[in-house]
């Protein structure tokens, strides 16, 4: 409740991803944690990953429209498992092209969602140009959505903090873990969401192992007396903008 007695508006998280599976592998724990606290989580999925992430379906002889339908179904079930809403833009992948029109659509999303935090891809990824394209549009739309003079529906937003989730090849993408998020309590939820993505079954164990490794780093850097679980699971994030604080902790 607020001081006036009105119900407090739940915090809002906006996740902007290039492909249908990205939000699950990279940020599924953060999404599930926010949802478990009663917060609203919205996923803007720019493509279905129909060309970049659907090799199994192509080898089975599936057609493009059928593959898109498969990926949509997988992503919708994964989002529901995590407790998020997902919206698809069907912008086409490999390549995903950053356009003014698509950026403008994201501005509408920002203003509708009014996010308290934004999760998206980091700036670099030499193995997949769709990810940097999504990053550019996510950041540009965030700026435009703050501008009173920018046309479009909805109220302007503030300046929500941005977190880059971990890419598949962090060492090659200039990714440095700056924030380690404990996702132990929602790990089983994330794993169930991962298992919704049958088109990329080969990644289930990869991202399980990654969560274990980041969990080890979390415990190593967590300080004393946190009562951590014997096996901590974690996700890693970067911050492109300064953290705002009144004390150092």
pLDDT in tens, 145-177: 999 999 988 999 999 999 999 999 999 999 999
Only one residue has tokens 């501008």, namely 147
What is the pTM assigned to this prediction? Answer: 0.94
CA angle 12, 239, 217 (to 5 degrees): 100
Q: In this structure, how many other beta carbons lie within 10 angstroms of the beta carbon of residue 106?
A: 23
> Minimal CA–CA distance to 193: which of 18, 17, 23?
23
Q: Which helix (H) or strand (E) holds 163?
A: strand 162-165
Q: Tell me the pLDDT of the chain averaged across its residues.
A: 94
Measure the CA–CA gap between 117 and 130, rounded to whole angstroms: 22
> First-to-last CA distance in the chain?
28
In the chain, where are the structural domains located?
12-238
pLDDT of residue 4: 53
Please give the CATH superfamily to which domain 12-238 belongs. LmbE-like (3.40.50.10320)
Contact status, residue 47 vs residue 20, Cβ threshold 8 Å? yes
Does the structure show a pLDDT above 80 at 110? yes
> Minimal CA–CA distance to 42: which of 103, 76, 86, 11?
86
pLDDT of residue 1: 45
Q: Is 245 exposed, middle or buried (0-12, 13-18, 19+ CB in 10 A)?
A: exposed
Does the structure show a pLDDT above 70 at 6? no
Only one residue has tokens 């941005």, namely 162
Per-residue pLDDT tens for 214-239?
999 998 888 665 556 578 999 999 99
Does the structure show a pLDDT above 70 at 30? yes
């Amino acid at each position: 409740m607020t001081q006036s007695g009105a119900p407090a508006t739940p915090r809002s998280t906006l996740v902007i991803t290039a492909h249908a599976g990205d939000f699950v592998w990279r940020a599924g724990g953060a999404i599930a944690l926010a949802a478990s606290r009663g917060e609203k989580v919205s996923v803007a999925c720019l493509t279905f990953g129909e060309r970049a992430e659907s090799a199994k379906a192509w080898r089975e002889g599936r057609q493009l429209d059928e593959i898109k339908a498969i990926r949509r179904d997988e992503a919708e079930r994964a989002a529901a498992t995590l407790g998020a809403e997902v919206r698809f833009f069907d912008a086409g992948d490999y390549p995903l092209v950053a356009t003014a029109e698509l950026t403008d659509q994201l501005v509408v999303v920002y203003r509708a969602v009014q996010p308290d935090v934004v999760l998206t891809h980091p700036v670099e990824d030499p193995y997949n140009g769709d990810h940097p394209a999504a990053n550019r549009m996510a950041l540009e739309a965030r700026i435009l959505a703050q501008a009173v003079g920018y046309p479009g529906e909805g109220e302007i937003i503030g300046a929500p903090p941005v977190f880059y989730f971990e890419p598949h090849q962090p060492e090659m993408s200039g990714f440095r873990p700056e924030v380690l998020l404990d996702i132990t309590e929602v790990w089983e939820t994330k794993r169930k969401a991962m298992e919704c993505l049958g088109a990329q079954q080969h990644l289930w164990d990869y991202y399980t192992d990654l969560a274990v490794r980041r969990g080890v780093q979390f415990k190593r850097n967590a300080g004393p007396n946190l009562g951590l679980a014997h096996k901590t699971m974690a996700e890693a994030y970067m911050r492109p903008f300064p953290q705002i604080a009144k004390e150092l902790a």
